Amino acid sequence: MKIKIITALTIVFLAGCTRLDQTFYDRVTPETFFKSEKDIKAALYRPFTHARWYLGADRWKLQEYTADHFAITTKGRHWYNGGENERYHYHSWTPDDNWIWETWRGTLMGVALALDAKSDLSKLDYSKFALTQADKDDHVNQLNTLIALFYLYGLDYFGGLPIFESLEGSSLPRNTDQETFNHIETLLKEAILKLPKKQAADKEEGALRAAAAAALLARLYFNAEAYVGTPKFTEAQKLCEDIIAGVYGTYLLDPVWNGVHGFKNHESKEIIWSIPSEFNKLQYDWFYADFYHYNTRQYFDVDGGANNGGHLQPSRKPTGELYKASFRLGSPYEKFNDADLRKHPYKYNGGGRYEGMFIIGPHLTPGGAVINGGEEYKDKPLVFVDQVGRFTEVGPGKKYATVAVLPSRMADGEENTGVRLVKVPIPNKSDNSLRWGADNPAIRLSEIYFMLAECKMRAADPGGAATLINEVRKRNFTGTDPDPATVANLDEYRMLDEWGIEFLGEGRRRTDLIRFKKFTTETWWDHQPTEAYRSRFPVPTRAISGNNNLKQNTGYGK
Structure confidence at residue 6 (pLDDT): 37
Instruction: Please give the average per-residue pLDDT across 316-339, as a whole number.
Output: 97
Structure confidence at residue 305 (pLDDT): 84
Structure confidence at residue 81 (pLDDT): 93
> pLDDT (tens digit, 9 = 90+) per residue, 452-499?
999 999 999 999 999 999 999 999 999 999 999 999 999 999 999 999
| 9 pLDDT above the threshold of 50 | no
C-alpha of 431 from chain center: 27
> pLDDT (tens digit, 9 = 90+) per residue, 288-327?
999 999 999 999 999 988 999 999 999 999 999 999 889 9
pTM above 0.85, yes or no: yes
| 26 pLDDT above the threshold of 80 | no
pLDDT band at 13; cut points 50, 70, 90: very low
Determine which of 147-161, 279-293, 332-346, 430-444 has the lowest per-residue pLDDT on average: 279-293
Instruction: Please give the average per-residue pLDDT across 54-78, as a whole number.
Output: 97
| 438 pLDDT above the threshold of 50 | yes
Three-class secondary structure assignment of 345-356? ECEEEECCEEEC
Q: What is the CATH number of domain 1-195+526-558?
A: 1.25.40.390
> pLDDT (tens digit, 9 = 90+) per residue, 400-420?
999 999 999 999 999 999 999
Instruction: Please give the average per-residue pLDDT across 544-554, as a whole number.
Output: 96
Structure confidence at residue 31 (pLDDT): 65
Structure confidence at residue 7 (pLDDT): 35
Structure confidence at residue 30 (pLDDT): 66
Work out the widest C-alpha separation in the chain, in whole angstroms: 82
Q: Assign a CATH topology to domain 204-281+443-490.
A: 1.25.40
Q: Which helix (H) or strand (E) holds 275?
A: strand 271-275
Tell me what the pLDDT averaged over the chain comes to: 93
Residues of the chain with CATH 1.25.40.390: 1-195+526-558
Cβ neighbours around 464 below 10 Å, total: 16
Residues of the chain with CATH 1.25.40.10: 204-281+443-490
pLDDT band at 32; cut points 50, 70, 90: low
Helix axes 57-64, 133-158, angle to 10 degrees: 40
C-alpha of 137 from chain center: 29
Structure confidence at residue 23 (pLDDT): 43
Residues contacting residue 412 through CB under 8 Å, at least 6 positions apart: 73, 74, 388, 389, 390, 406
> pLDDT (tens digit, 9 = 90+) per residue, 347-401?
999 999 999 999 999 999 999 999 999 999 999 999 999 999 999 999 999 999 9
> pLDDT (tens digit, 9 = 90+) per residue, 99-122?
999 999 999 999 999 999 999 999
- Dist CA 341 CA 253 (whole Å): 17
Question: What proportion of the chain, given as a percentage, has pLDDT over 70?
Answer: 94
Look at phi and psi of residue 343 and say left if phi exceeds 0, alpha if psi is from -120 to 50, else beta: alpha
Instruction: Please give the average per-residue pLDDT across 142-165, as a whole number.
Output: 97
Q: Please calculate the CA angle 67-216-243 and round it to the nearest 5 degrees.
A: 115
SS3 state of residue 296: helix
Structure confidence at residue 154 (pLDDT): 98
